[in-house]
Amino acid sequence: MYARIALVLGVIGCFASSLAPAAGAPEFPNRLVRIILPQPAGGGTDVVARAIAMKLSDAWGQQVIVDNRPGANGIIGVEQFSKSKPDGYTLLYGFTSLLTINGSVYKSLPYDTLRDFAGVTQTVTNTMALVVNAHLPVRSVTELVALGRSRPGELLYGSFGVGNQTHLTAELFRLESKLKMLHVPYKGETPALTELVGGQVVMMFAPSAGVTPHVKSGRLRLLATCGKQRAAAFPDTPTMVESGFPRVISVGWGGLLVPRGTPPDIVRKIQQEAALALNAPDMRGRLAALGAEPNGTTPEAFDTLLRAETEKWAGVVKGAGLYHSQ
C-alpha cells in the first residue's frame, strides 16, 4: 500500500515539475520587451500600441517599448521582426493591410505571415471612415459623388500606401461610384493625415482611431463609416451602406504577434495581460475616444481571423487589378 502511495505521489510530482519552469530559468519577462510597429509615430495606431505597452510595463515591472519602423508599406518593420528570436521579447503590432493584404499585392515578401508568425491577440477593432478636408464643400457621400462627377479626375484621394486597406477601400468606392479620382499614396498614417488636413489631398478612407481627433477638432469632416452598422463612436453618422454603397464595407483591426515557435506559456501570458489591459476602464475610455473598440481575443481566434482576412482581401486585390502588381 505504501509503495502504491509513493508511486502516485511520484507521478504527481513529475507532472507538477513538467508544468513548472526549469530550475534556474528566469520568469518571463525579466528584461526589456520591444513591440515593433511598422508605422510612423504619432498616428492612431501608434497611440494604441503605446497605451498597451504602458499597461504591460506596469503589469510586468519591466519596460515595454514601441519601436517605430515605417517604410515600404510596413515591410521593413515586419522583415526586421521576422528575424527576431521566438522568446517573447520582440513582438509585432500588426494590422489589416500589413498582415493580410501585402501578400497579395507584392510578388515576393521576405516573410510569410501565416507560416512565420503566430497570433497573440487581436487588440482592437476600428471601422474605416470616409473623411474629407474641412474646406471641401460637401457634407454627405451624395454631395461628394455629385462633386466628383462634376469635376472628373480632379478629386485627389490619399492613402497610407499602395495596396494598403485605405487604398483598397477607396478603390472599392471608386468602382462602385464610377468616379474618376486620382490616388496619392503616402508612407504611412501620419504623413497621409497631415497632408489631408493641409489640403494636399481632399478625401481619404482611414481607420477611425487615426481620424477621430481631427474630426473632433474640426480639421476633417466625417461623411460616413464603413461598418455594417453605425459605429458606436459616431452614432449620428451614416454608414456607406446607408449612403447607397452596400458593397463598401471595410473594418480595420490591430493585433499582437510573435515569431512562430515562441513557447505557448509565454504567448498565453502576453495574451492574458494584454486582454486585461485592453478591458481596463481607463483603456476602454481612451480607445472609445479614438473610435476603437477593445478585443483581447485568444491566440487561436486571432490566427483564425488572420487566415479569413487573408482570403477575403486576396479577392478584393484581384478585383482592383492589383494582384502581385508590386
> pLDDT of 67-80, one tens digit each?
999 988 899 999 99
Q: Give the range of the structural domain holding residue 80, as residue numbers without chain letter.
A: 32-126+251-319
212, three cell numbers: 477621430
96, three cell numbers: 489589416
- Looking at residue 54, its pLDDT comes to 97
- Give me the residues paired with residue 159 across strands: 185
- Domain of 203, CATH number, reads 3.40.190.10
**For the segment 171-211, what is each residue's pLDDT rounded down to a tens digit?**
999 989 999 999 999 988 899 999 999 999 999 999 988 89
Alpha helix segments (H runs only) across the chain: 2-19, 44-60, 75-82, 96, 102-105, 113-116, 141-150, 165-177, 189-198, 208-217, 264-278, 281-289, 299-319
Residues 191 and 264 in one domain: no
Please check whether residue 265 lies inside any domain of the structure: yes
The CA–CA distances, whole Å, from 31 to 26, 60, 89, 121 equal: 10, 10, 8, 22
Please check whether residue 5 lies inside any domain of the structure: no
CB-CB neighbours of 251 under 10 Å: 19
Q: Tell which of 177, 207, 225 closes a domain.
A: 225
CA distance 17 to 82: 32
Residues 197 and 146 in one domain: yes
- Looking at residue 25, its pLDDT comes to 57
Average pLDDT across the chain, whole number: 90
CA distance 37 to 66: 7
Residues 134 and 275 in one domain: no
Say which residues have a Cβ less than 8 Å from residue 278's Cβ, sequence separation at least 6. 52, 123, 124, 284, 287, 294, 295, 296
Please check whether residue 51 lies inside any domain of the structure: yes
- Looking at residue 291, its pLDDT comes to 80
Taking CA 316 as the corner, what is the angle to CA 221 and CA 127, rounded to the nearest 5 degrees? 35
For 295, which DSSP code? -
- Looking at residue 19, its pLDDT comes to 45
Are 52 and 277 in contact by the 8 Å Cβ rule? The answer is yes
- Domain of 94, CATH number, reads 3.40.190.150
- Looking at residue 7, its pLDDT comes to 44
CB-CB neighbours of 276 under 10 Å: 14
Please check whether residue 238 lies inside any domain of the structure: no
CA distance 280 to 189: 27
Residues 47 and 82 in one domain: yes
Please name the amino acid found at residue 214: H
Residues 219 and 132 in one domain: yes
Quote the crossing angle between the two packed helices 44-60 and 208-217, to the nearest 10°: 110
Q: Domain tally for the chain?
A: 2
Residues 255 and 111 in one domain: yes
Please check whether residue 12 lies inside any domain of the structure: no
Residues 216 and 259 in one domain: no
Residues 80 and 166 in one domain: no
pLDDT tens by residue, the chain, 326 residues: 444 444 444 444 444 444 444 445 579 999 999 999 999 898 889 999 999 999 999 999 999 999 999 988 899 999 999 999 999 999 999 999 899 999 999 988 999 999 999 999 999 998 899 999 999 999 999 999 999 999 999 999 999 988 889 999 999 999 899 999 999 999 888 999 999 999 999 999 999 888 999 999 999 999 999 999 998 889 999 999 999 999 999 998 999 999 999 999 999 999 999 999 999 999 998 888 888 889 999 999 999 999 999 998 898 888 778 877 67
Please check whether residue 7 lies inside any domain of the structure: no
For 239, which DSSP code? B
- Looking at residue 127, its pLDDT comes to 87
Residues 141 and 106 in one domain: no
Residues 133 and 220 in one domain: yes
Residues 153 and 112 in one domain: no
Please check whether residue 298 lies inside any domain of the structure: yes
- Looking at residue 233, its pLDDT comes to 83
Please check whether residue 230 lies inside any domain of the structure: no
CA distance 170 to 10: 64
Are 228 and 241 in contact by the 8 Å Cβ rule? The answer is yes
